[in-house]
A and B are shown apart, each in its own frame.
Chain A
Amino acid sequence: MRNGNAKAINGNAKRCFKLMIVDDSNLMRRRIERSQQFEDLQLVGTAGNGLEALELFKKTDPDVVTMDITMPRMDGIECIGQLVALKPAVRILVISALADKATAVEAMERGANGFLEKPFTDRQLNEAIAELMR
């Protein structure tokens, strides 16, 4: 993740990671966007389902993705598999209300790198993203 996609913005030599947020709830998308406090994380787009996410992913080539599980048209589990197939180095944080451990294991198996259960605090979100970008 750390090689190739990093780019300098505003003349700052610091590397910047591209973030994509996937969640069918508009409220949750805004919440994640507002709550993340990383200067070197630039939001490149949000998607409301797996199919949209896939389209957006191809266009914007993000490095970090937050992914909901239960979504219309294409669910998060399926989407994770497809994103990892497109870019193995992508880092995916699953953010889901499904407390079911089997779903988490399934997501990890498909290639997710982290798991955060809804509801979450800002601190939990930022810690999870930091862990992802480490």
Chain B
Amino acid sequence: MTLAGTERRRRQLITAGLGTALTLVMGTVLIMGFRLATHMRANIGALQTASTLQIYPQEISHQLNSLRDRLEVRAYSGQALADLQATVKRFDQMLNELGVSAEADSPQLHRALQLWHQYAPVLDPVLSFNAQPYVDSDTAGSSLSREGRQYYAEVKRAQLFASDSAGALQGQLAALAATLQRTCSDAAARLRMLLLAGVLAALALAGAAGYFRLTRSSHERAAREAQEQTRDILKTVHEGFFLLDADYRIGSVWSEALTRMFGRQDFAGLSFEELLKDLVAPATLATATKYIKLLWGDRAHENLMKSINPLGQLEIVMDNGHGGKETRYLEFDFHRVMGPEGVKHVLCAVGDITSSVRLAHELRESQENANAQVDMMLSMLHVEPLQLMAFLDSAETSLNLVNGILREPARSDAEFRKKLGGLFRELHGIKGEASALNLKSVASRVHALEDMVADCKRKPELSGSDFLPLVLRLDDLLAHLRSVREMGARLTTLKESGPAAAASVAAAAPHGSAAPRQPRPVEDLSSALQSMAERLAEDHAKRFRLTVSGLSEVPPSYAATIKDCVIQMLRNAAVHGIEPPEVRRAHTKHDVGAVSVHFRKVGEGYELVFEDDGAGIATEALKAAALRQQLISEEEARSMDTRAAMALIFRPGFSTQDDVSMDAGRGVGMDVVARSVYALGGRIGVSTHPGRFTRFKILLPAAQAVSSAVA
């Protein structure tokens, strides 16, 4: 660009110089030609005069002869004299005119004038004669008078002089004419040469003009092409480019990408501050403005300025063209354009890095997911594989049940609400088991699903479409369970390094099939309960010790139910029963609470006793909570005896907890326990003493060979 500029300037200078030189040459030629022509014209005039004058001496001589002849024969001489007088006068006049003109100034003319000056006095007496030349007498006829004789003598003298000198005068005049003719020829030759030079100069001028016109048009074409190319580049490039001047204003050239990025077109002359004003926070704008000013200073070098660029990833919020807002990320890059006197411009390159920023976010998220998976894997390391598979089986069965509930056709609001209640209970059971196994990722997902169900429940009217998001979330949960199963399989493979183990795990994966819950031994339930108790104590800032006995005697057909019931009761004990340590101290109880689970065979059947030494159940609190949840009317509350009030805890949807947490507050729990027990043909009882203890006793009949009680 700079080189082309220098070349253009050089050519302009050459054109101007050549043009001036040729104009001067042409001017000189024309002036000289004009002067030469003027001179020639005068020469030609002098030549014509000299040529005309040549014949006059002869003419004068003839006229003198004629005058003499007339005088001799006494004829009328007046006319002859008049002719002579006119001829002499014309000759004298012309010769004198010639004498004063510069062109004829020559020795020949001088000599001719000299001769004429000798000749003229001789002629003068003849010319000045004005008397009567004849006298007439009767005797002698006409004769010369005295003046006539004198006159005749003068004519004869003049005639004699003329015959002597006329030839010389004529010779001089002829020589003068010849000289003038030569001069004219020379002048004509010079003029021709001059004209030739002029023509050549004009041709050269025309040639130069043509050449420069050609080169200029080729340069203009090149410039036009360059301009077009620049325009094409600016139109096509994905980055936004513009130059900032020393007043921090945008120049007249910018790339079209800017239009897309900023949703405007009036960039020329726009200040950088105005460009960003409505897009970024005032603090960011202030920093950006300061930064731009720093770019004009000579203190900061390019790398440093790059490293502190505050607009490297600028978040802007823009209209998306559909009435909404859209967050985008722009990357500004600044380069200083140096001139001879320091920074001339600052080139700004703006890139839309929204997709790469989003990709980075996604990468971070997937990294976090991967970390969460590792965490999950680590937590799974503490879970017995068989126990894990048992959980997965039962969870999948429950979720299939949930699916079934969702698919059940329902028309009325009451039916929808019944469906929600069913969903709630199933989900709650899964969450309890997941928490017991410390599978936080599963528990939190189920919890989120419960939240959605709770949101549905709060809606004044329900329709089928309200269940759609639940189905999607359910799919997500099932997928997660499958990944847990896969991970479990891999872990087992790792742990046991035996193909047989892996095969057994794979075989235990029903993958979403509605397989019935398989009875599994519950030997490992004790340790799962212990770890769940630890987690519950930690989560709810409680301290208690769990004692478990007799669970190994649970018949396989009761295992699942017993497990669900114990988990639920343990949660209730941790959340509602056991008081915080400071409360226990205030009631002179031991800081560490006690929770016990005892299972034993009693006669033909079985007995499960679950007891905690916590706050017990206050019937008034139960009634108040039921009232709050509008499960009973005030009148019912008043008429309720202790036994009926206690029965409230087995009501679906009942909870004393107002806040929902992972472990309580849903109002789903004891009703699940009660239903499971009833389904096995058992009974459940509760006894409590406020401030002292709560005891649940579950009595179950003799076990059947195979149970389908829960389904």
Contact = CB atoms under 8 A, between A and B. Distances in A.
Interface of A: 101-102, 104-106, 108-109, 111, 113-115, 131
Contacts of A111: 299
B310 A115 contact: no
B283 A102 contact: yes
B299 A113 contact: yes
30 contacts: A101-B287, A101-B308, A101-B309, A101-B310, A101-B312, A102-B283, A102-B284, A102-B287, A102-B310, A104-B307, A104-B308, A105-B287, A105-B290, A105-B291, A105-B308, A106-B287, A106-B290, A108-B294, A108-B300, A108-B304, A108-B308, A109-B293, A109-B294, A111-B299, A113-B299, A113-B300, A114-B304, A115-B307, A131-B301, A131-B304
Interface in B282-305: 283-284, 287, 290-291, 293-294, 299-301, 304
A105 B299 contact: no
Contacts of B300: 108, 113
A66 to B, nearest CB: 15
B519 to A, nearest CB: 59
Given A108-B308, A109-B294, A115-B307, 4 more contacts: A101-B287, A102-B287, A105-B291, A105-B310
A105 B304 contact: no
A119 B160 CA distance: 138
Nearest to A101: B310
A54 to B, nearest CB: 21
Interface of B: 283-284, 287, 290-291, 293-294, 299-301, 304, 307-310, 312
Contacts of B284: 102
B538 to A, nearest CB: 34
A115 B299 contact: no
Pairs A-B, 8 closest by C-beta atoms: A101-B310, A104-B308, A102-B287, A105-B291, A109-B290, A105-B287, A105-B290, A108-B294
A108 B308 CA distance: 9
B308 A115 contact: yes
A64 to B, nearest CB: 15
Contacts of B309: 101
Nearest to A108: B294
Contacts of B307: 104, 115
Contacts of B312: 101
Nearest to B307: A115
Contacts of A114: 304
A101 B313 CA distance: 11
A114 B306 CA distance: 12
Contacts of A105: 287, 290-291, 294, 308, 310
A115 B304 contact: yes
Contacts of B310: 101-102, 104-105
Nearest to A117: B307
A10 B380 CA distance: 70
Contacts of A102: 283-284, 287, 310
B410 to A, nearest CB: 56
A80 B584 CA distance: 59
B170 to A, nearest CB: 103
B248 to A, nearest CB: 15
B203 to A, nearest CB: 63
Nearest to A102: B287
A108 to B, nearest CB: 5
A131 B299 CA distance: 11
B303 to A, nearest CB: 8
Nearest to B305: A108
B72 to A, nearest CB: 127
B190 to A, nearest CB: 75
A92 to B, nearest CB: 10
Contacts of A115: 304, 307-308
A108 B304 CA distance: 10
Contacts of B290: 105-106, 109
A89 B386 CA distance: 76
Residue in B284, B293, B300, B308 whose Cβ sees the most chain A Cβ within 10 Å: B308
Nearest to A113: B299
B307 to A, nearest CB: 6
Contacts of A106: 287, 290
B487 to A, nearest CB: 37
A104 B304 CA distance: 10
Contacts of B287: 101-102, 105-106
Contacts of B304: 108, 114-115, 131
A89 to B, nearest CB: 11
Nearest to B301: A131
A131 B305 CA distance: 13
B575 to A, nearest CB: 43
Contacts of A108: 294, 299-300, 304, 308
A93 B217 CA distance: 56
A105 B306 CA distance: 11
Residue in A105, A113, A114 whose Cβ sees the most chain B Cβ within 10 Å: A105
Contacts of A109: 290, 293-294
B4 to A, nearest CB: 35
A109 B290 CA distance: 7
A40 B630 CA distance: 85
B54 to A, nearest CB: 100
Nearest to B300: A108
A114 B308 CA distance: 10
Nearest to A114: B304
Nearest to B299: A113
A105 B293 CA distance: 10
Residue in A101, A106, A114, A115 whose Cβ sees the most chain B Cβ within 10 Å: A101
A101 B293 CA distance: 15
Residue in A108, A109, A113, A131 whose Cβ sees the most chain B Cβ within 10 Å: A108
A94 B631 CA distance: 67
Nearest to A127: B303
A106 B307 CA distance: 14
Contacts of B283: 102
A109 B305 CA distance: 12
Contacts of A113: 299-300
Nearest to B313: A101
